[in-house]
Amino acid sequence: RYKSIDERFQENTYQPLIIEDFEEKSRDDLKKKCSFIVERIDLLLKEVTENSRYDDFADMLQIFHQMQQDEEDLIANTKYNETWVAQLQEILEKETIALTGQIYEYMQEIGRIKDDIEDFTSEADMKTKYITQLKTTEQDMTDKHFSDKQNEMLQKIKTTEGNIMKEIRVHEETITYFNLVQKEIEDVLNSWKLRYTKTLNCLNKKIKVETDKVDSLIAEMKRMKELYAKRAEEINDYKVYKQQQEEKRLLKKKMDDAATKIQAWWRGTMVRKGFGKYRKKKDRKGKKNKNKK
Which of 28, 32, 22, 278 is closest to 136 using CA atoms?
22
78: helix, coil or strand?
helix
Question: Which pLDDT does position 3 carry in this prediction?
Answer: 46
Q: Would 89 be classed as within a structural domain?
A: yes
Q: Would 239 be classed as within a structural domain?
A: no
The number of distinct structural domains making up the chain is 1
Q: Would 264 be classed as within a structural domain?
A: no
Q: Would 204 be classed as within a structural domain?
A: no
Which of 80, 66, 82 is closest to 145 using CA atoms?
66
Residue 37's φ and ψ, nearest 5 degrees, are: -65, -45
Model-wide pTM > 0.75: no
Calculate mean pLDDT across residues 145-170: 87
Q: Would 70 be classed as within a structural domain?
A: yes
CA of 291: how far to CAs of 18, 280, 281, 282, 285, in Å? 185, 19, 16, 14, 10
Range of the domain at 88: 5-192
Q: Would 185 be classed as within a structural domain?
A: yes
Reported as a single tens digit per residue, the pLDDT across 175-223 is 988 899 989 998 898 988 998 888 989 999 999 999 999 999 999 999 8
CA of 293: how far to CAs of 82, 171, 267, 285, 286, in Å? 176, 133, 33, 12, 11
Rounded distance between C-alpha atoms, residue 73 and residue 79, angstroms: 10
Percent of the chain with pLDDT over 70: 69
